[in-house]
């Protein structure tokens, strides 16, 4: 969870599968990987609730800016092969559009939304869309995310959802810009949303015969 902390920048609360287990090192190591990444920030403070001994009470570990820790290596340009392939496919299929990887986070109802891409038309710069590729999901999760986006006035937001990673059989939220995919995100499906229908038909099908 990400929240704006007044006067203190942004506050992140990390949670996930590790919350289901106790005294395991697997997710502890994953959480510890945040520390060298935080060292790349100008200012940070990390607080972790740790169990150092099975018989001891939990301890609070605090690490702040200036602590003698080394920053992590530069991050990979893409989080996954899926994102890398989408960028390559989209730029090839949409020469009139620019694609920005990991644009600035967007405030939405007390939290922050981190899009994977910003799509912006090269000639009409006001035509901008944000796009996020979603992993495991439920229709309720998508509805809550879309509700926050609408409340923040973000109408031009596309969610690409993996059809094989749905955690429920319910229908997708109505009236949303959602693209289903399997193994790869089809750039034509995205273009069908961001481009006017007449241009999209011409691009996909060629000149119409009468």
CATH for 179? 3.40.1350
- Over residues 182-204, mean pLDDT: 75
By the 8 A CB rule, do 99 and 119 touch? yes
Torsion of CA 76, 80, 85, 88, to 10 degrees: -30
- Give the relative orientation of helices 81-93 and 187-194 as an angle to the nearest 10 degrees: 60
User: Is 200 found in the same domain as 130?
Assistant: yes
- How close are the terminal C-alpha atoms of the chain, in Å? 54
pLDDT over 80 at 95, yes or no: yes
User: Is 191 found in the same domain as 99?
Assistant: yes
User: Is 145 found in the same domain as 199?
Assistant: yes
Residue 167 structure tokens? 């955690």
> How does strand 128-134 pair with strand 157-162?
parallel
Residue 85: give the domain boundaries.
81-205
pLDDT at 82: 87
186 falls in which pLDDT band (50, 70, 90)?
very high
User: Is 160 found in the same domain as 121?
Assistant: yes
User: Is 11 found in the same domain as 55?
Assistant: yes
Residue 164 structure tokens? 């094989």
Q: Residue 164: what are its φ and ψ, rounded to 5°?
A: -90, 0
Residue 141 lies in a domain: yes
User: Is 123 found in the same domain as 50?
Assistant: no
Q: pTM score, two decimals?
A: 0.63
User: Is 50 found in the same domain as 115?
Assistant: no
Residue 76 lies in a domain: no
């Amino acid at each position: 969870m990400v929240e704006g902390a007044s006067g203190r920048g942004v506050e992140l609360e990390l949670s996930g599968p590790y919350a289901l287990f106790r005294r395991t090192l697997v997710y502890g190591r994953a959480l510890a990987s945040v520390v060298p990444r935080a060292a790349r920030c100008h200012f940070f403070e990390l607080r972790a609730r740790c169990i150092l001994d099975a018989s001891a009470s939990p301890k609070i570990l605090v690490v702040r800016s200036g602590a003698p820790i080394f920053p992590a290596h530069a991050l990979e340009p893409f989080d996954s092969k899926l994102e890398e392939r989408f960028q390559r496919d989209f730029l090839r299929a949409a020469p009139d559009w620019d694609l920005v990887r990991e644009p600035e986070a967007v405030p939405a109802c007390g939290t922050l939304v981190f899009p994977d891409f910003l799509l912006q038309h090269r000639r009409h710069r006001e035509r901008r869309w944000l796009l996020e590729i979603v992993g495991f999901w439920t229709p309720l999760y998508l509805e809550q995310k879309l509700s926050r986006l609408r409340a923040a006035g973000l109408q031009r937001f596309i969610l690409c959802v993996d059809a094989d990673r749905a955690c429920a059989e319910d229908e997708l939220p109505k009236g949303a810009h959602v693209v289903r995919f399997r193994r790869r995100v089809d750039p034509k499906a995205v273009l069908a949303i961001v481009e006017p229908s007449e241009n999209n038909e011409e691009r996909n099908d060629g000149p119409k015969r009468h």
